[in-house]
Amino acid sequence: MPILVEFPLENGDVVLVEVQELEPETGIERAALAPDLPRRAAQTLESAFDKIKPAINAIVTKIRDVGAPDNIEIEFGLKLSAEAGAFFAATGAECNFKVTLKWERK
């Protein structure tokens, strides 16, 4: 079920994000919040996205080893969670990336 999560920004502002609530693994259901009351994230939006930066840097570094393309385009899905922050979206145990490499003649 989608819920609203309030992510603070480093400058003090906040942004509301609709996220899919993670199912509890314990079988315990959380008490319902008021429908108009957003949950507050445990971290800033910037720090949530900082978690995926090492993976993106690793992908770009390995792709550049192929032969230094002029342009690299990578598409991937991201999800946000109040508890986990940002993470790559996946279905099942797989995660797909669409990668486009471009070399231009000079």
pLDDT digits (tens, 9 = 90+) for 76-102: 777 777 777 777 776 555 566 667 767
Confidence of residue 52 (pLDDT cuts 50, 70, 90): confident
Question: pLDDT value at position 104?
Answer: 75
β 39-40/2-8 pair status:
parallel
Cβ atoms of 80 and 5 within 8 Å: the answer is: yes
* 47 Cβ neighbours under 8 A, 6+ residues apart: 85
